[in-house]
């Protein structure tokens, strides 16, 4: 196992470059750290985290939705507006470029759309998406109005959710809530991608949220080389063949430039 510190934007560890050059099928698993350099707050940041003023059970659970759907819908609209104002970072762009010349599958925990806006195709949004709301009663997908006119200015601003045009039920956010099962198709696609990959990059994820956190171990058991790209030690580190202590926006462009 190797661990490398990145001293410059081009100081890509040789084992990482070699693995990327030799792989015929790559899967990239991305977490909150992937979008942090675009200004998207992570849940675990004590100062600017998305949960710092709220109990997660009030905002991201079926119980919270039942208790105060206006608060929940308003908070998710506020989050979507924060994402809309953000831009993909150099790491997102690098993955999109890599996809143009290699078989690169992306499975993400992130509920933003920054991969797509950078030009990449996402195989699986394993934890759902802010931009794919659906009816809480019949499950029908709803269109997402991304206009800023009615976006809440504050995180705790209540906004009544729209009604489903088919059954009249309330349209709920498309993100997976605590206690809910992952979208079956997305999970199966992500699991298949790591089983079939020669190389799995684990970028910006803490490795504590299961079952997504179990994907690197599945990859190892299937024979893939696992590379962690993260500035800090995580629960993934012991599962990785190579650990590169850098950020997504620094490391990924440097890696792709050498392929």
> Annotated binding residue at 209?
no
The catalytic residue positions are 127
> Annotated binding residue at 152?
no
> Annotated binding residue at 6?
no
> Annotated binding residue at 109?
yes
> Annotated binding residue at 15?
no
Q: Taking a C-beta distance cutoff of 8 angstroms, is the pair 50, 41 a contact?
A: yes
> Annotated binding residue at 47?
no
> Annotated binding residue at 232?
yes
Query: 137, exposed or middle or buried, with CB in 10 Å at 0-12, 13-18, 19+?
Result: middle
End-to-end CA distance of the chain: 22
> Annotated binding residue at 231?
yes
What values do phi and psi take at 3, rounded to 5? -130, 130
Q: Taking a C-beta distance cutoff of 8 angstroms, is the pair 26, 199 a contact?
A: yes
E strands, the chain, in order: 2-5, 26-30, 104-108, 124-125, 134-135, 171-172, 199-203, 225-229, 242-245
> Annotated binding residue at 112?
yes
Gap between the Cα atoms of 96 and 145, Å rounded: 25
> Annotated binding residue at 89?
no
Gap between the Cα atoms of 130 and 111, Å rounded: 5
> Annotated binding residue at 20?
no
Q: Residue 192 CB: number of other CB atoms within 10 A?
A: 15
> Residues marked as binding?
76, 79, 109-112, 135, 138, 164, 167, 204-206, 230-232, 248
> Residues marked as binding for NAD(+)?
109-112, 204-206, 230-232, 248
> Residues marked as binding for Zn(2+)?
135, 138, 164, 167
> Residues marked as binding for substrate?
76, 79
């Amino acid at each position: 196992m190797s661990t490398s510190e990145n001293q410059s934007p081009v100081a890509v560890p040789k084992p990482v470059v070699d693995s990327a050059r030799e792989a015929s099928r790559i899967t990239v698993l991305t977490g909150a750290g992937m979008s942090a350099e675009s200004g998207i707050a992570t849940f675990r940041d004590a100062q600017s985290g998305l949960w710092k003023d709220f109990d997660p059970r009030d905002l991201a659970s079926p119980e919270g939705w039942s208790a105060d759907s206006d608060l929940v819908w308003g908070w998710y609209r506020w989050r979507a507006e924060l994402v809309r104002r953000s831009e993909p970072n150099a790491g997102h762009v690098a993955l999109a470029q890599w996809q143009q010349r290699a078989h690169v599958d992306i499975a993400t925990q992130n509920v933003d759309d920054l991969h797509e806006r950078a030009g990449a195709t996402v195989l699986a949004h394993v934890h759902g998406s802010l931009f794919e709301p659906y009816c809480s009663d019949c499950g029908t997908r709803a269109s997402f109005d991304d206009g800023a006119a009615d976006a809440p200015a504050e995180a705790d601003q209540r906004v009544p959710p729209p009604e489903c045009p088919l059954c009249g039920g309330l349209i709920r956010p498309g993100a997976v809530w605590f206690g809910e099962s992952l979208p079956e198709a997305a999970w199966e696609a992500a699991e298949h991608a790591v089983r079939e990959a020669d190389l799995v990059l684990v970028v910006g994820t803490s490795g504590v949220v299961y079952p997504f956190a179990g994907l690197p171990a599945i990859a190892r058991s299937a024979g893939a080389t696992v590379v962690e790209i993260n500035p800090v030690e995580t629960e993934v580190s012991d599962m990785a063949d190579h650990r590169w202590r850098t950020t997504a926006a620094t490391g990924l462009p440097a890696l792709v430039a050498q392929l």
